[in-house]
Chains A and B, each alone.
Chain A
Amino acid sequence: MKFEGTSSYIATEDLKVAVNAAITLERPIIVKGEPGTGKTMLAHEVAKSLNAEIITWHIKSTTKAQQGLYEYDAVTRLRDSQLGDEKVKDIKNYISKGKLWNAFESDKRPVLLIDEIDKADIEFPNDLLLELDKMEFFVYETGETIKAQNRPIVIITSNNEKELPDAFLRRCFFHYIKFPDPNTMEEIVEVHYPDIKKDLIQEAFKIFYDIREVPGIKKKPSTSELIDWLKLLMTDDVDAKILREKDPKKLIPPLHGALLKNEQDVHLFERLAFISRRENENVE
């Protein structure tokens, strides 16, 4: 089992090594990086390339570790017992399986994505230590032990909102996805839109990286936003010339809403576009 990137996902060399190490050693891998650099995508792509089932567990601030294992619905059982339902005699009817249980049960080695683990409570990762280490847990209500038939490939993403405990980190591989350089970015775009016009890309890239360079921009546009923007440019069949527009009244290129997500940034962008075009004129 080896991950080599897919036709729709460009994986850098270091990312491949980290993922393969995690697959071989059957340990979880933590993926961090700027928003929109493809952390969540990675899990889907790994699953696709290994032809494995993907089980995703999205973490919210209210998510508890126990929910990933199983939940015992005592309240429904109590109610059913009042109504004299036959179901009540078997406790198994009231245990609903969590994502980890599903992953452990799987016949073929699945990919388990634990998405945005940092959103949960600070103790959350600690509560999963043993389960992820041994890949087994105990169900108190029925007295059975659930053990992974095939240790799933666990991919954990984090946006760095909270620091993860050391004990948890020690058991994982780690990879930080850097923001792609223009060359990698070009490959990424090509994977998504093979028939995009070269000159359109060039103009769009210039604007995109310029925006990212602006000091003080509130929300830097990310890879996924660039891809969206290019898609819009293509569907509207915008010509590269329009991106090079010199009329000061049309400084903001079309469909900028895909890149800039608040009005202060739009204002900054106006200034930037003005400067960069003036530079262009000087060169020409």
Chain B
Amino acid sequence: MFINFFFDLKQASLPVSLKEYLMLMEAMNKRVVDSFNVNDFYYLSRSALVKDERYLDKFDRVFGHSFKGLENPEGETTKEIPEEWLKLMGQKYLTDEEKKMIESLGGWDKLMETLKQRLEEQKKRHQGGSKWIGTGGTSPFGAYGYNPEGIRIGQKEGKNKKAVKVWDKREFSNLDGDVELGTRNIKIALRRLRKFAREGAETELDLDNTIKSTAHKGYIDVKMMPERRNKIKVLLFFDVGGSMDAHVKICEELFSAARTEFKHMEYFYYHNCLYDAVWKDNNRRYNDNIKTWDVLHTYPSDYKVIFVGDAEMSPYEITYPGGSVEFWNEESGETWLTRMLNVYENAIWLNPIPERYWDRIASTSIIKQIFSDRMFPLTIEGIDQAMRELNK
């Protein structure tokens, strides 16, 4: 009877294996808990099947689903546009040029008002057409449509990639380090970034010195030395969400490879451009973020910095205060990037978008300029070059 439960767990992509299932069966067989008590069974199965607190929540949902038929593990999330976002939009600072563009629809306030109105009017899913919020079409609202000052709602992957604000309450999937396939090449490329040094406890036999010292003293005199270790220290910054969704796989691979390759590695997430805060866990990014100042103050300047991102956004997300698509940033992304580069001499940007497109995207050119041309494509060859650059 538990087989179904096991397959449910598998289906919800929890990393459960046959061994763990058998372990659970063995425990049931040995009457570790009273099998009539659901609570105890829940504790037991959780302890036997889940090995990381990341999966606890998912496990709970699958368990509820399998044994009580409570709800679907995927859970439908209702999407609502919060009032304050609408307000924030109104305050948005734009350049003259952009203001003119917005005039075509009667200005920001009008745009917001119309949007809100239409959201209320509209109840069903809509596709095509030029007025309603939906997908495709030329209305400034909705996804997959084209209108220069369009507002993107509920869209998974950017199509025209020009929306002023991203309104999706997307699930920013945390990059996980489990992906092993295809990381070998990346690891080898990352290996270029190595600086060996002997530091710490003396644990290795220093043969040369021992021979020398023995000859000198006339009896065996063993000399030890510390182990040789890679002392490179790395800060990794990953762009997540939005247009980066298309590049998740390669980023995961890079992350996984970097994690095994560098002993001293810290990673952070950001969205589109670096602003006053970064975060380490996407699920808690709004509550548990880390001030960029703290990052700058915590890690000494001998850390090497790697940014990973497609650098594809509206140019004013970099150059203007308040340009961020998600919140009101007091200082522009450019200011923050420059600050970062002032602290860390060795910094590069890895871009998953092929190099030939870079010149055509305004924001990419700007970032490339800020990084004084130290932008490399996220390919094996690009990583290779990037690591040489970092080693300089």
Contact = CB atoms under 8 A, between A and B. Distances in A.
B285 to A, nearest CB: 13
Interface stretch (A162-170, A182-190, A225-233, A247-255): A162-170
B32 A25 contact: yes
Contacts of B44: 17-18, 21
A206 to B, nearest CB: 22
B51 A170 contact: yes
Given A62-B200, A176-B56, A215-B287, A21 B48 contact: yes
A32 B200 contact: no
B201 A172 contact: no
B296 interface: no
Contacts of A75: 222
Interface in B32-68: 32-33, 39-40, 43-44, 46-48, 50-53, 56
A13 B15 contact: no
A122 interface: yes
Contacts of B23: 25, 27, 173
Given A24-B27, A171-B19, A78 B220 contact: yes
Scoring B20, B51, B220 by chain A CB atoms within 10 A of each residue's CB, the highest score goes to B51
A176 B220 contact: no
A235 interface: no
Interface in A1-57: 13-14, 17-18, 20-22, 24-25, 27, 29-30, 32
A174 B47 contact: yes
Interface residues of B, number: 32
Contact of B32 (A13, A21, A29): A21
Interface in B4-36: 15, 17, 19-20, 23, 26-27, 30, 32-33
Given A20-B32, A24-B32, A215-B287, A62 B27 contact: no
Contacts of A122: 260
Contacts of A169: 51-52
B228 to A, nearest CB: 14
Chain A residues touching B, range? 20 to 34
Interface string B78-102: 0000000000000000000000000
A166 B32 contact: no
B46 A14 contact: yes
A13 B47 contact: no
A118 B19 CA distance: 23
Contact of B51 (A13, A82, A174): A174
A21 B20 contact: no
Nearest to A29: B47
A126 to B, nearest CB: 13
A79 interface: yes
A24 B53 contact: no
B201 A62 contact: yes
A175 interface: yes
A133 to B, nearest CB: 11
Contacts of A13: 39-40, 43
B342 interface: no
Given A78-B222, A166-B15, A176-B56, A17 B51 contact: no
Shortest 10 CB-CB contacts between residues of A and residues of B? A18-B47, A17-B43, A169-B51, A14-B43, A176-B53, A174-B51, A21-B32, A173-B47, A24-B32, A170-B19
6 contacts: A17-B40, A17-B47, A25-B27, A32-B53, A169-B51, A174-B50
